[in-house]
Structures are given as C-alpha cells and as structure tokens.
Amino acid sequence: MTLMTLLHPRAHTRSLLALFALGLALAGLAMSQIGMPLWGGTTIVLALLVYPATLKWRDDIARWGLPIAILGILLALQGFHTVEHVTQWVQFHLLHWPPKRASGLLSAANAELVHFVWNWSVALTVGYLLRAGLRNGWGYLLLAWALAHSLEHTYLFVQYVDAVRTLWSQDAALAFAQGLPGIVGRHGWLDTSGWQYAPTAFLCRLTPQLITSTRLDVHFWWNVGETGLLLPFAHVAVRRRFRSS
C-alpha cells in the first residue's frame, strides 16, 4: 500500500478522465465564446469531477475504513490547493500580473472567509486523523504547522471583519477589506509592532523575509510547509496501517 495506491481512482479512472476532458472543452468554449472568467471555467471542471471523486472515496471507505479515506481526500484537496498557490506564484512572479489579478484559478474563492474556513478544516482534519490512530512524528509536526497557519488566517479574518465594519460605516467599497497584511510579511504585525519585543525583534533580524515578503509569497510558503509535512505523514501512516493489518 502506497500513496499512489490510495490516490488512484481505480475503477473510476475512465469516467474521471472523460469528465475532466469534457470539463476542459466546456470551459474553453465558455471562456472563448461568452467571456466566462477563468474561475468560472475552473468551476465547470471541478463540478464535473465531483461525481467520480465521490464514488472513488465511497469505495475507499468500504475498502480501507474512514480514517484512510479521509486522508486520501485531504491529500487530493491539498494537492489542488497547492496547484492554486503555484498558479498565483507564476502569475505574480513570472507573468508579472498585479497582486489583485494574480489570484489563481479560483479567484472567486480567494476571500478571507474561505481561507479561514479551509485552514481550520485542515487543522481539525489532521487532529481527527491523529486521534483515529494515524499517529507519527510527521503528523504532530503537521498539526503544529496547520494550527499556526490557521492562527495567521484567524488574525487576517479579524482584521477583515474590522475593516468591513469601518468601510460599511463610511459607505466605501468593501473590496478594500480583502488582502490586508497578516502577522508575517510586509506591513504585517511583525513588521509594524514586532520590534517592540525582544524575542520577535530577534526573529525579524534572524529571518528578515518574515517582514519583507509579499502576502502572496507568505502564503505560498505556508502552503509549501503544510504540503511538505502532509506527504511524509501520509506515507508513514499508510505504510504502518497496512503493515499491521
């Protein structure tokens, strides 16, 4: 049993590939003929993949049990999330799009509430998997990283809510509440207030990227760390589970 075994669609491979191709064709047609935005085309593709993915995960539950199946779902969703961050990085650094345009394949989902819910969902899912018996050192490191990442997005969400209240009272556009700096990164809390405290000031001097990186880069590296810990956690968990069965 390997991660590739867990992620393989098996009996649903043909339907998944056929619907993926159909989704690409429909998305390309809609984008070229009626001017559908990229996020709309991406939504078409993902919507068509829901059916074969659901059947595959149902089979995984019956074959390997709920914890292993949920681990497979987390790997798949985190994989797409990583593609989204890589797309944003390419758009910003290689294509030189402005930050508001470099919003990936699903720009409509690039909102503080979505990030807040997604990251806490990941942290809670990892906690569930550890409690369900998929325990190893990588898993505890992943949980710590996911919680820290979620706290970053909690800070961002609180900042967003405060900004919305202010903009609402001023009858200003609420879009300005999106994309505010967080704890780390340029103009974030560490950059503006962290110098007042010796430990955080030392951290800023030791790793200046914590206060100079753009928001896009900050969250790209948050995701790199999360994915980099998820893969060995899943590998060890799967091998141990099936070695003992």
Q: What is the pLDDT of residues 151-191, one digit of tens each?
A: 999 999 999 999 888 888 887 777 767 888 899 999 999 99
Q: For 6-20, what is the mean pLDDT?
A: 95
> Whole-angstrom distance between the N-terminal and C-terminal Cα of the chain?
11
- How do residues 71-119 score in pLDDT, each as one tens digit? 999 999 999 999 999 999 999 999 999 888 888 999 877 889 999 999 9
**Model confidence band, residue 244 (pLDDT cutoffs 50, 70, 90):** low
What's the confidence (pLDDT) of residue 12?
A: 96
From the list 14, 125, 15, the residue with the least C-alpha distance to 68 is 125
Q: DSSP for 41-106, please give it.
A: HHHHHHHHHHHHHHHHHHHHHHHH-HHHHHHHHHHHHHHHHHHHHHHHHIIIIIS---TTT---S-
**Is residue 35's pLDDT more than 70?**
yes
> What's this model's pTM, rounded to 2 decimal places?
0.92
Quick one: CA torsion of 76, 81, 83, 85, rounded to 10 degrees?
A: -160
